[in-house]
């Protein structure tokens, strides 16, 4: 399982598949929450994750696809777009330091 120190994160990608807009809202929320941190937040389809992503946040069901598409990134799967503890854990690690460990997925 991969990991990264939150202070080292420079690019966080919210990856999606359904195109329903929820992941775009999550990316926007993360930009607000992490606005004081030197982190770029981007939104991409799970099939087009940039190679320079440090962390990929995606629904747990997409985690394995994200790992294949972004083998150098720490992939964190979540279940809820709002209020998910995995997302909160990533935000806290980036803001306060701490290790982000990838999840095992779906």
- Of the residues 4, 16, 55, 75, only one is catalytic, namely 16
In the block, tokens 């995606």 appear at 58
CATH number at residue 80: 3.40.50.2300
Tens-digit pLDDT string for the chain (106 aa): 699 999 999 999 999 986 668 889 999 999 999 999 999 999 999 999 999 999 999 999 999 999 999 999 999 999 998 899 999 999 999 999 999 999 865 5
16 is catalytic: yes
Q: Is residue 85 part of a domain?
A: yes
Domain around 52: 3-7+14-101
Determine the pLDDT at residue 48. 94
Q: Is residue 106 part of a domain?
A: no
Q: The whole model's pTM is what?
A: 0.93
Determine the pLDDT at residue 86. 96
Q: Is residue 41 part of a domain?
A: yes
Cα separation, 40 vs 13, in Å, equals 8
Backbone angles phi, psi at 91, to 5 degrees: -60, -45
Determine the pLDDT at residue 58. 96
Cα separation, 88 vs 5, in Å, equals 15
Q: Is residue 65 part of a domain?
A: yes
Lookup: tokens for 18: 């359904």
Domain tally, the chain: 1
Determine the pLDDT at residue 87. 96
Reference 34, options 64, 70, 7, 73; nearest CA is: 7
Reference 63, options 53, 77, 73; nearest CA is: 77
Determine the pLDDT at residue 96. 95
Q: Is residue 23 part of a domain?
A: yes
């Amino acid at each position: 399982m991969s990991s990264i120190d939150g202070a080292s994160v420079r690019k966080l990608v919210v990856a999606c598949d359904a195109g329903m807009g929820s992941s775009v809202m999550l990316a926007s929320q993360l930009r607000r929450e992490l606005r004081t941190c030197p982190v770029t937040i981007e939104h991409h389809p799970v099939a087009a994750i940039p190679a320079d992503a440090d962390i990929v946040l995606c629904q747990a069901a997409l985690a394995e696809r994200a790992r294949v598409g972004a083998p150098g990134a720490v992939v964190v799967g979540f279940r809820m777009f709002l209020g998910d503890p995995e997302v909160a854990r990533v935000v806290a690690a980036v803001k306060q330091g701490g290790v982000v460990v990838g999840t095992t997925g779906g």
